[in-house]
Chains A and B, each alone.
Chain A
Amino acid sequence: QIQLVQSGPELKKPGESLKISCKASGYTFTDYAMQWVKQAPGKGLQYMGWINTQTGKPTYADDFKERFVFSLETSASTAYLQINNLKNEDTATYFCARGTLFAYWGQGTLVTVSS
């Protein structure tokens, strides 16, 4: 069955960096784009952007152009979200989702940024 399995929760200090993984299984990884979505505590869903799993080219929504990096390890069917220079407002759950329909979602990775 199709699954997206994300890495575990993170507790970081402001200014640090982190990298979240999203491992896909049950389908051909390069057949579908990978999307990234942020959900702050108690808030709605915010679209971050996507990565082309065939070319590796990322495309970011405006709010996520500065400190956020999407990448791939195609041989491992894994997508990554790196966040640099973490800020308190990055505290959120981050989801990966498959394709233009967002048909399958990872379980989410909770990131807590606190000094």
Chain B
Amino acid sequence: DVVMTQTPVSLPVSLGGQASISCRSSQSLVHSNGNTYLHWYLQKPGQSPQLLIYRVSNRFSGVPDRFSGSGSGTDFTLKISRVEPEDLGDYYCLQSTHFPYTFGAGTKLELK
């Protein structure tokens, strides 16, 4: 199975500040069709996860442009600029290139 190593585990931030979360995979996430199926989700306390970024760098409908994704191959990053209170929660990366799909262990974004 592809192992997704997500860092950091906890990320204290100030409102208005910037956050960066890393996700590294144990093998390349480039599919045979050329696409890279690496996605990012936010799970707010007591809620279901919500899709933020799909296929590395595409913002899902309604996601503010403060969220951006980048990376390639095995190394991916989610950046959040101008952090707002509603951005706090647990962030997960997910690879759906190789079955079984696998999630990162999560990063808790919290106030400093």
Query: Which of A62, A102, A107 lies in contact with B94, CB distance below 8 A?
Result: A102
Q: If the complex has contacts A49-B100, A95-B49, are A103 and B54 also in contact, measured as CB distance less than 8 A?
A: yes
A contact residues around B103 at 8 Å (CB): 44-47
A contact residues around B101 at 8 Å (CB): 35, 47, 61
B contact residues around A49 at 8 Å (CB): 100
Interface size class of B (residues with CB under 8 A): 20 to 34
Contact between chains at A105 and B49 (CB < 8 Å): yes
| Assembly CA distance A102 to B95 (angstroms) | 11
Contact between chains at A103 and B48 (CB < 8 Å): no
Residue picked from A59, A97, A106, most chain B C-beta under 10 Å: A97
Contact between chains at B51 and A103 (CB < 8 Å): yes
B contact residues around A104 at 8 Å (CB): 51
A contact residues around B48 at 8 Å (CB): 95, 105-108
Q: Would you list which residues of chain A between 61 and 115 have a CB under 8 Å from chain B? A: 61-62, 95, 97, 100-108
B contact residues around A95 at 8 Å (CB): 48-49
Tally chain A residues at the interface, Cβ within 8 Å: 20
B contact residues around A102 at 8 Å (CB): 39, 41, 49, 51, 94, 96
Is B76 in the interface zone, CB < 8 Å from A?
no
Contact between chains at A105 and B50 (CB < 8 Å): yes
A contact residues around B55 at 8 Å (CB): 101
Contact between chains at B99 and A59 (CB < 8 Å): yes
| Assembly CA distance A98 to B112 (angstroms) | 35
Query: Which B residues fall within an 8 A CB radius of A?
Result: 1, 37, 39, 41, 43, 48-51, 54-55, 60, 90, 92, 94, 96, 99-106
The 4 closest A-B pairs by CB, nearest first: A61-B100, A105-B48, A45-B103, A44-B106
